[in-house]
Amino acid sequence: MAKAIRRTLTFIMVLLFPALWLLPGAAKAAAPSGIAGFYSQAEALTQAPPPETELTILHQCKVEEWQVTLIGLKGSPKGNAVPIIAALSRQPLVSLPDQLSLRLRFHAAPRSGKGLEPAEWLYVYDRNKDGKFDYMCFPIGPLAVKPPDFPADFPKDGPDKSLKYSSKEINLLMSSMRFVFYHLADDDFDGALDTWVLPVMDPDRRAWVEKRALVRCAAGGETADTAWYFKENIAVPLGAPERTAKGFRLLGWNGEKEIGKDSFANWNMILSLFNQAYAQYLAAGTAKMQ
C-alpha cells in the first residue's frame, strides 16, 4: 500500500516538476518591459515614501539658472549612494524636511515658518544604470481617486459644474484623496522621455480620477503613436484615448489635454538639468574612489 502511494507521489512529482520549473520562467518571459514593467514599483514608492527626515543631500550644484539637488537616503554608502529624488530650486536647499513634502498635506507651504521656499522635486531612477536618469515621477498633488467600489449613483456634476454633495459623499471624496503623480519614462534610453502615464478624470464627475492613460511616442516619430487607458494594471488596456493629428486627446486633472511629441519638451528640459547634475555627482564619486 505504502509502495503504491509512494509510486503515485513520485508519478505526480515527475509530472509536476517540469511544470513548476517552467512556470516562473514563463511568467518571467511574459513580464512587461519598459514603463509597464516598472510602473507598479515606482507608484508604490509614491504612495509609501520614506520619512523626509531620512533624506540627505548627495549633491547640489547650479545648472543654468537652477539649483539642482540630488537627494538619497541617509546611511547609504558615501560617494556612491543612489539618488532617489532630484529637486529644482532658485536658492540652494538648506533643510530637506522643511522644503520637501513627500506625502499628502492639506496645508499651504511653506510650513516651517522659517521662510524657506518649498522645492519642486521629482522621484528619479536610472533603470539601466548607465549614469543617466530615465524615469521620473512628478507630484501633481492631491486628487480623489475612484475606489473599485465607487458608488454608481454618486452625483454627477451639475450643468454649472457646481458640486452639491452630502456629508457621506464628501467623506468618500476626502478619504479617496491620494498624492497623484505623473510617470515619465525614457524607455529606449536615448536620453529623451518618450512615455507618459497620467491621471484621467471622469467626464461626468470631474473631481474624480477615473483611470490612467499611457501615451507613447516611438523613437524618431513626430507624433504620439501609442496610447491606452488602464485602471489597476498598466498591462491591461481598457480602451484608448481619442486620436488626433499630433497624438491623443484626454481629460486630464486640469482639463482637456492633447498630448503629442511636443508635450514632452518641458519634461525633457528638466531631465536634462537633472542628468547634468547626476553626471557631476558620478564624476565626483569616481574621482573620490581613485
- Report the relative pairing of strands 247-252 and 226-230 from DSSP bridges: unpaired
C-alpha cell, 251 = 481629460
- Smallest gap from Cβ 126 to Ca ion, in A, equals 4
By CB under 5 A, residue 43 contacts Ca ion: no
By CB under 5 A, residue 132 contacts Ca ion: yes
C-alpha cell, 53 = 527626515
Q: Which residues are bridge partners to 60 per DSSP?
A: 69
d(CA 188, CA 203): 33
Task: Indicate the residue type of 33.
Answer: S
By CB under 5 A, residue 190 contacts Ca ion: no
Q: Which residue's CB atom is positioned nearest to Ca ion?
A: 134
d(CA 133, CA 214): 20
- Report the relative pairing of strands 205-216 and 135-145 from DSSP bridges: parallel
Taking the CA of residue 24 as centre, how many other CA atoms within 13 Å lie in the half-sphere pointing to its CB? 3
Nearer to Ca ion among residue 38 and residue 208 (C-beta): 38
By CB under 5 A, residue 128 contacts Ca ion: yes
Question: Exactly one of 23, 32, 130, 269 binds Ca ion (CB under 5 A); which one?
Answer: 130
Question: Exactly one of 35, 66, 101, 134 binds Ca ion (CB under 5 A); which one?
Answer: 134
Closest CA relative to residue 194, chosen from 21, 34, 10, 27: 34
By CB under 5 A, residue 232 contacts Ca ion: no
Nearer to Ca ion among residue 98 and residue 187 (C-beta): 187
What does the angle CA 269 – CA 181 – CA 28 come to, to the nearest 5 degrees? 95
- Smallest gap from Cβ 226 to Ca ion, in A, equals 21
- Smallest gap from Cβ 233 to Ca ion, in A, equals 25
Nearer to Ca ion among residue 130 and residue 222 (C-beta): 130
Q: How many CB atoms lie within 10 A of CB 193?
A: 22
By CB under 5 A, residue 194 contacts Ca ion: no
Restricting to residues 87-126, which ones interact with Ca ion according to CB under 5 A? 126
- Smallest gap from Cβ 191 to Ca ion, in A, equals 9
Number of residues binding to Ca ion, judged by CB under 5 A: 5
d(CA 277, CA 86): 9
Could you tell me which stretch among 58-66, 128-136, 139-147, 153-161 binds Ca ion (CB under 5 A)?
Answer: 128-136
Residues that bind Ca ion (CB under 5 A): 126, 128, 130, 132, 134
